[in-house]
Structure 1
Amino acid sequence: MEIKQRGKPLFKTARLLTSLMFLLVVILTMSVTSHALTPWYASVGAHIVLLNPDGTVWCIGSNNHGQLGIGKTDSDIHEPVMVPDLRKVMAVAAGATHSVALLRDGTVWTWGGNEAGQLGIGNRMGSKIGSPQPVQVDGLRDVIAIASGRNHVVALKKDGTVWSWGSNFSGQLGLDSGGTADQPVQTAHLDGVIAITAGAFHTAALKKDGTVWSWGFNGNGQLGNGTCENYNIPVKVAGLGSVVAIAAGNQHTVALQNDGTAWAWGSNHASQLGGDSSSLMSLTPVQVSGLSGIIDITAKVNHTFALMKDGTVVAWGDTGSRQWGNGVSMGGSPIPVRLHGVSSPVSIAAIGNPDTLVKGRNSASIANALQSAGNHNDQAVNRDNIAFADASRFFRY
């Protein structure tokens, strides 16, 4: 293993090990841009964090690390529970064992596992259980966006600076050095940022000049700078300009340009780049084939979504043997396909593999929807404009 600093190779690891690492974790990645709506649903598969329109947060799923924020630990919670004493929340994010909330006052609160310092509270614990209830990240104010990887958290402040904490094994904190950070530290050599996103072990930022910068794990070219070497400082994504939105899956990154085209780079083993399916990766951005008129994008583990200006949603990439929303089962599609039954959505979000979610104008309560999903296992449920299923099917809220 080789460790170098400042733009040179940070880690070189076997590709097989890399693949196995990514199989162990499912990460939500979200971005906030001038036109993208607030992240309101976060999951890594084992637990789900939901943001209600009234500013309250609800959780469901695994709680063995306290990641549901209810003040205690349980192996599983099968019905949504509200996180106590947490109000006026504007965004949520989730990692492997932790949860994050951004309040309207610009403060950040975290709960759950803290084995890598991902709660940002300055008291890194060896135990799996860091805090089973929300704790404020000290010294962090004026935050306007959050994102989370497997064991790291990223925050964007209104002054355009990026702050992060947690695991830095692959350089994903952008500290210009190694080591874990259990309190927020500013990402080096970066300012003027307007949006952030995080993959499993990499981070990306969109600057106000329309350029994209990335750092961290790069084993599949997800940093987009033409190499497969990890970087612990931000590096510019090659050949991109006039970008207005970004999103990241586990091992790939996507950008939306102001002309309505989407560009992707990184892993393509599941056709998540929307281009040549014969290529397993792209080290620089490639245009998503046959697609224009996009107004928003998002990505999940191995596939990508685009919201079109006509209100339709298209998707490409892998769902294993599962269904998109168009009634067609596929192992992967390099060609964007329209999701039938999804009309005039107001936002799109990606959650943990293999779940998928699109939010429409009409919605029922989160609690009722999730209860329906949990009580019917493999059976799709249609009620009050909700089509929910278990973790093996497309569903809509």
Structure 2
Amino acid sequence: MEIPAGASSGVIAIDAGRSHVLALKSDGSVLAWGEDWGYGHLDVPPEALSGVVAISASARNSVALKSDGSVIAWGSPDTGLNDVPAAARQGVVPISAGENHGLALKSDGSVVQWGWNYEQPNVVPAEALSGVTTISAGPYHSMASKADGTIVIWTQHSNTPCWFTRIVRNAVAVAGGYQSCQVLLNDGSVISESWPDGLNNGPFPVPPAAQSGVVSVSSGYNHNLAIKADGTAFGWGHNADSQATVPAKYRDVMAVAPGKDFSIILLE
């Protein structure tokens, strides 16, 4: 995947979907590149050319958070992601997009969910309606970490919406992928949590490198990437296309973004 010239400098954040990449520049504009497949997720609208503070890429859509706390989305109309609800048009802090659904964390600590979710209503469990500090949308499930160390995981992949909670001591962030639910603890270690229906982190145990010194973790479809406090990055999981192998020459890593069979890293 060729990186466009516009992404050679001034990028402050990145994210990867199934086949495309988003980059946020310091001037508040969004760049998009990769495979479009006719979905239109590479067609950055005028509203995303200024004032954007966060980005998230799904399989067929792109989502951006504006400085006024409103969310915009573009790409495939079939997922429902473009139909941003009124609750996500103000007061939003971070965002996260899954395969066909989006999450928005409000400044009051509540989570809003929207999009196509297997013909089930977009129900957010009561535990995720207050006190939430971070969110992550996997392809078919959602995760939220709370200020009290609770991890809430829910999915509407089955016929009946289901969710569960975990009390995870000192959890500070979550990352939901296709076959993985990763939790970053405040001691710099990473642990894995399972889906409610048992479809958990697949055959990929957390490696020794993720037992300490981790400051950021991100999950893709079948692999995970993490950044260490020393600015190095590493990955684990499916690696048929070397997507989980971060070249040792890359230091001072600011951000990582695992896609389906590729990875993107942002250097200082």
Query: Fold-level match, TM-score > 0.5?
Result: yes
Change over 3 Å in CA distance of 1:90–1:303 after alignment to 2: same
Q: Does 1:118 align with 2:81?
A: yes
Give the deviation of 1:262 after TM superposition. Answer: 0.7
Distance 1:116 1:159 in 2: 27
Distance 1:268 1:150 in 2: 17
Indicate the residue corresponding to 2:151 in structure 1: 212
Amino acid aligned to 2:190: A
CA RMSD of aligned residues (A): 2.7
Q: 2:19 aligns with which of 23, 27, 46?
A: 46
Amino acid aligned to 1:68: L
Measured against aligned partners, the alpha-carbon deviations of 1:96-148 in whole angstroms (never above 9, x if no partner) come to 22211100110011112122322125xxxxxxxxxxxxxxx544211001111
Q: Does 1:240 align with 2:214?
A: no
Q: 1:148 aligns with which of 78, 83, 97?
A: 97
Does 1 or 2 have the higher relative contact order (CA < 8 Å, sep 6+)? 1
Distance 2:183 2:253 in 1: 20
Measured against aligned partners, the alpha-carbon deviations of 1:199-233 in whole angstroms (never above 9, x if no partner) come to 10100001111211010057xxxxxxxxxx88735
Distance 2:202 2:260 in 1: 15
Distance 2:121 2:178 in 1: 13
- Partner SS state of residue 28, structure 2: coil
Change over 3 Å in CA distance of 1:174–1:318 after alignment to 2: same
Would you say the 8 A contact 1:174–1:216 is kept in 2? no
Q: 2:237 aligns with which of 317, 335, 354?
A: 317
- Partner SS state of residue 36, structure 2: strand
Amino acid aligned to 2:214: I
Give the deviation of 1:324 after TM superposition. Answer: 4.5
Would you say the 8 A contact 1:95–1:149 is kept in 2? yes
TM-score by length of 1: 0.57
Measured against aligned partners, the alpha-carbon deviations of 1:281-328 in whole angstroms (never above 9, x if no partner) come to xxxxxxx677212222111111222221222222211121436445xx
Q: 2:36 aligns with which of 62, 65, 68?
A: 62
Distance 2:57 2:183 in 1: 22
Give matches, 1:258-337, under 5 Å.
258-266=186-194, 267-271=200-204, 273-274=205-206, 291-322=211-242, 324-325=244-245
- Partner SS state of residue 141, structure 1: coil
Distance 1:304 1:274 in 2: 9
Change over 3 Å in CA distance of 1:244–1:92 after alignment to 2: same
Distance 1:289 1:148 in 2: 27
Larger radius of gyration: 1
Distance 1:39 1:144 in 2: 17
TM-score by length of 2: 0.82
- Partner SS state of residue 59, structure 1: strand
Q: 2:46 aligns with which of 73, 84, 95?
A: 84
| Greater fraction of residues in strand | 2
Distance 2:78 2:262 in 1: 26
Measured against aligned partners, the alpha-carbon deviations of 1:222-252 in whole angstroms (never above 9, x if no partner) come to xxxxxxx887354202x51210111111121
Indicate the residue corresponding to 1:283 in structure 2: none
Q: Does 1:251 align with 2:251?
A: no
Distance 1:146 1:322 in 2: 28
Would you say the 8 A contact 1:160–1:192 is kept in 2? yes
Indicate the residue corresponding to 1:106 in structure 2: 69
Distance 2:12 2:156 in 1: 24
- How many residues are paired up? 249
Amino acid aligned to 2:164: V
